[in-house]
Amino acid sequence: MTSGNCRLCGQKTMLSFEHVPPRTTFNRNTKYSSVAFEEYVKTENPLKNPPKGKIKQGGVGYNSFCKQCNSFLGSEYVPAYKRWVKGGFEILQNKEFELHTYSIKEIEPQKILKQIVSMFLAINGEWYLKSYPELSEFVANKDSKILPDRFKVFSYLTRAENIRYMHHVVLGNFATGNPINCSEIAYPPYGYVLTIDSGNKIQYLNNITEFKNLNKRMDLNINMFQLSTYMPFPLDYRTKEQVEKGIEEGIQTIRKNEKKQ
């Protein structure tokens, strides 16, 4: 336990370890290495020679919620979230890029969305709660449908070749010229992107913000892309081949520039 402000109720208290995603959704014994973004940028070919991070065990998580909020999430949303995860695993294939069309029976979309938003609260710092209190209000009030329009949540299926926990960043978007304000989590079988003040669409991703209005148990028909997450950059879903090609071209450009000098 560490001391700090709970990302859900805001209270300054001892914070318990919150698994992201929940421990019971196959995040119990995860052994993972966390590599700083800067280390990747320094490495010439991160696919062939991945930078070695510090190895951690016992599941991915953060000290972000007080004990009370932690158990609130566990009892209110985690059971619904588990069902959603189970459905995703049944669909996931050993492929890099694929559109899946399927239906999941008897899921509770609003609870699933609240769990997902709580995961974004967990991975981001205390400033997040202060800047965007609407997010924690949506999660803390189990009957609330109110998630203002400026917040959008997107999802995709993924094996998460590399798990992705990207804090909130502002990204330039070359296609539209408008920057995207986002945070991203990828852990099998799903990836999620939370955007703030950005558009309604992101290529290949499902906008699941409407889940906020679906507060009942229902069957849902879904079209969802399975995407790859090789590199630690938000919104980068290139296949291994595309990443390798990009790296090779990058190296050649550097060599050419060296020759010129």
Q: Which two tokens stand for residue 201?
A: 């669409």
**73 binds Zn ion per the rule CB under 5 A:** no
**6 binds Zn ion per the rule CB under 5 A:** yes
**4 binds Zn ion per the rule CB under 5 A:** no
Q: Give the bridge partners for 186, in sequence order.
A: 164, 191
Q: Give the bridge partners for 185, in sequence order.
A: 165, 192
From residue 111 to residue 140, the character string flagging contacts with Zn ion as x (rule: CB under 5 A) and all else as - is ------------------------------
Identify which of 64, 66, 82 has the alpha carbon closest to the alpha carbon of residue 24: 82
CA-CA distance, 14 to 65, in Å (whole number)? 8
CA-CA distance, 26 to 21, in Å (whole number)? 8
Tell me how far the alpha carbon of residue 9 is from its chain's centroid. Answer: 22
List the interface residues with Zn ion, window 175-204 (CB under 5 A): none
CA-CA distance, 85 to 204, in Å (whole number)? 19
CA-CA distance, 122 to 111, in Å (whole number)? 16
**9 binds Zn ion per the rule CB under 5 A:** yes
Which CB, 69 or 193, lies closer to Zn ion? 69
**8 binds Zn ion per the rule CB under 5 A:** yes
Stretch that binds Zn ion, among 63-71, 129-137, 140-148, 236-244 (CB under 5 A): 63-71
Please count the residues of this chain forming the interface with Zn ion, following the rule CB under 5 A: 5
**69 binds Zn ion per the rule CB under 5 A:** yes
Stretch that binds Zn ion, among 65-73, 85-93, 211-219, 253-261 (CB under 5 A): 65-73
Interacting residues with Zn ion (CB under 5 A): 6, 8-9, 66, 69
